[in-house]
Chain A
Amino acid sequence: MDEINNLMQGFSVAMTLPNLVYMLVGITLGILIGVLPGLGGANGIAILLPLTFSMNPTSAIIMLSCIYWGALFGGAITSILFNIPGEPWSVATTFDGYPMAQQGRAAQALTAAFTSSFVGALIAVALITFLAPLLAKFALRFGPAEYFAVQLLTFCSFVGMSKEPPAKVTASMMLGFALAAVGMDSVTGQLRMTFGFPQLLKGFDFLIAVIGLFGIGEILLTMEEGLAFKGKSAKLNLRVVLQTWKQLPQYWMTFLRSTAVGCWMGITPGGATPASFMSYGIARRMSKDPESFGKGQIEGVLAPETAAHAAGTSALLPMLTLGIPGSPTAAVLLGGLMIWGLQPGPMLFLEHKDFVWGLIASMYLGNVVGLLVVLTTVPFWAAFLRIPFSVIAPVIVVICAIGAYTVHNAMFDVITMLVFGVVGYLFKKLKYPMAPLVLALVLGDMAEASFRQSMLLSQGSLAIFWSNPLVGSIAGLAIVMLVWPVLSSLKISSPKLKAG
């Protein structure tokens, strides 16, 4: 029951007035980011990161993670009311959410979406509470070979689990690794791939890549779709909320299934987007009435929202315990931790107990606060979307430019951001996944260091990755994940619409 004690202590850290205020600010900013096209969890946090440099790390990470919860909630608003997914993981929510809104059941759909997000996140946080300390303790035994094996597992499961063609997943990932290698080699001090440009000495910062790929890229995509916001209006009142809540317990099986899918996809780096699609597919397949899906079936809202939130939350588990993020947003949070001098990994649980448990406690609180905030402020956010895109688009470009500049106070970064934006647009159009690129860019140095250390230990023999049962089973699992599509002939049928 150590965890309970620690958690209580965490609550006392998180429940201070300034932290609660940061929570509220974070949630509000997060919903704003989730609602606006072009700004999402990952690049939104990347842009706001420099603002928190002067705060203490606990408050900063509480605010940043609350931005993330807010973005997860916010994505549902635009999907249901406007049929425009504010975030990739809410694409599946549009399938049944928008039809519900068209039938005048927008309030019900929104309540269902918010509540299921809340449930998914809460179960995932509970999982983190009890699993994280165990995993951290376990990871203390890890040497470089084990670390590399875990990273291999992360990247192999990307290739195996993605819906995109394996060659494109690999290409995107390798581009990330290549970009991560640019600059000074941390071991030998030699310059790599700088080609004489002094700006490249520091290498590419993944925050810039995230802002460009997801922010600018998204704006270009939105331009192409020629956005005309024609939304349904929604008024949420207590009566509808309570009525919907009364209905929800009968869907407990959907909740459980979707949470399980979400947690699994979050811990292995599938991420929230595939989790939401998968969960929608499973819910439809398991339903007694699969025909009603796509026509305003409430389960079609519950399933993807629960899974997306569960995945988004559980992605923080490997980030905190192993230092390996499960999603681009978790990667940005990881980058934030490192900026404050906190090295995520098993030692974090020993050396910065206050911080870790404060963060975990804030996940519980943040989701409660988030649920209350979204339920009460929906009309306000919907009004935001009625601002013409010709105003929103340049403002978001300005925000992205500011975000890119403030990371290192360098103009070069703003230009790099623009290039990444074009790459993001092309990658999205040609179905190259972007998450592997970002994660490889973040983990590149770490993966290289652990690989080289392993090779040093073994004098260059790859056999070190099978030298003991622990590393052997992780490496073995990695191979299984890599060839997973071949192994599983049983494929879950997903809706014809593709993400993006």
Chain B
Amino acid sequence: MSNQPNHQVGSEKPPVKERGPELVVAALLMVVAGLVINDSLRVGIGWADDGPRSGYFPFFIGLLLLASSGTVFLSTLLNWRAKSAIFAEREQLAPVFAMLVPMTVYVLSMVWLGIYLPSALLIGYFMRRHGKFGWLPTTSVSVAVPFAFFVVFERWFLVPLPKGPIETWLGF
């Protein structure tokens, strides 16, 4: 609450306004509503011999979703000029993507490499890139944390975690 961004005088780009993302999210929700309604119609929204068909309930859900997100969509469009609330400053969005992009790479690489190596790389990347740590603390933390998870999950609680070629090569 206290660390509200202060408007920097002379910052080059204007902040991102709320109305853009608002419109996009509402539109996406309307697309979801369309999918729900369409698929409900496919499986049938009426009655069969044994009662309501599968689409009976979701159909109304889809309609309500369409109505509510449509309301947000329209009211955003109609009040477009008046809506000047700020979504985020440009300088704030940069760190969000600085998190989101490596996180996406991390999750996707887990599919092939298992969880341990990508986790070590993610922690290491963050400590070097954002924390400006030296190599020694970076390496020790990024090796120690996945190892601790290995001990806790696979050894103590016997919960298997995803493994990749390296773990197979090590014989796990």
A residues contacting B by CB (< 8 A) are: 50-51, 54, 83, 85, 91, 94, 98, 165-168, 170-171, 174-175, 177-178, 181, 185, 187-188, 190-193, 195, 216, 219-220, 223-228, 388-391, 393-395, 397-398, 401-402, 405-406, 409, 411, 414-415, 417-418, 421-422, 425-427, 429-430, 432, 448, 451-452, 455-456, 460, 497
Contact = CB atoms under 8 A, between A and B. Distances in A.
Contacts of B146: 398
B123 A460 contact: no
A429 B21 contact: yes
Nearest to B75: A167
Nearest to B69: A171
B43 A190 contact: yes
Given A181-B57, A193-B39, A223-B95, A398 B157 contact: no
B48 to A, nearest CB: 8
Contact of B2 (A83, A177, A429): A83
B160 A409 contact: yes
Contact of B106 (A397, A411, A448): A397
Given A171-B69, A401-B106, 4 more contacts: A220-B100, A397-B122, A402-B153, A455-B51
B79 interface: no
A460 B130 CA distance: 60
Nearest to B138: A391
A47 B169 CA distance: 29
Given A167-B71, A402-B153, A452-B56, A394 B122 contact: yes
A144 to B, nearest CB: 12
Given A405-B161, A418-B104, A430 B36 contact: no
A54 B39 CA distance: 39
Q: Secondary structure of the B side of the interface?
A: helix
A181 B61 contact: yes
Contacts of B62: 174, 178
13 contacts: A50-B159, A167-B72, A174-B33, A181-B58, A226-B3, A391-B123, A391-B141, A405-B161, A411-B162, A426-B25, A429-B21, A451-B57, A455-B51
B143 interface: no
A499 to B, nearest CB: 11
A174 B61 contact: yes
B125 to A, nearest CB: 7
Contacts of A195: 35, 39
Contact of A406 (B48, B93, B159): B159
A191 B42 CA distance: 11
B128 to A, nearest CB: 9
A27 B98 CA distance: 33
A422 B149 CA distance: 25
B9 interface: no
B102 to A, nearest CB: 8
Contacts of A216: 103
B162 A405 contact: yes
Given A411-B111, A414-B107, A456 B32 contact: no
Contacts of A421: 103
Contact of A187 (B51, B69, B104): B51
A499 B61 CA distance: 28
B134 interface: no
B123 A395 contact: yes
A169 B58 CA distance: 18
A91 B2 CA distance: 12
Contacts of B166: none
A363 B98 CA distance: 42
Given A220-B99, A402-B149, A418-B104, A192 B58 contact: yes
Contacts of A187: 51, 54
A150 B67 CA distance: 24
A190 B154 CA distance: 37
A223 B96 contact: yes
Interface in B44-69: 47-48, 50-58, 61-62, 64-65, 67-69
Nearest to B36: A178
Interface centre among B40, B58, B98, B131 (most CB of A within 10 A): B58
Given A185-B54, A187-B51, A175 B122 contact: no
A177 B36 CA distance: 10
Contacts of A389: 130
Given A398-B122, A414-B107, A391 B58 contact: no
Contact of A178 (B65, B103, B131, B158): B65
B152 to A, nearest CB: 8
Nearest to B50: A188
A47 B26 CA distance: 30
B110 interface: yes
Contact of B115 (A175, A405, A425, A430): A405
Interface in B123-165: 123, 125-127, 129-131, 133, 141, 145-146, 149, 153, 157-162
B92 interface: yes
Contacts of B36: 178, 181, 193
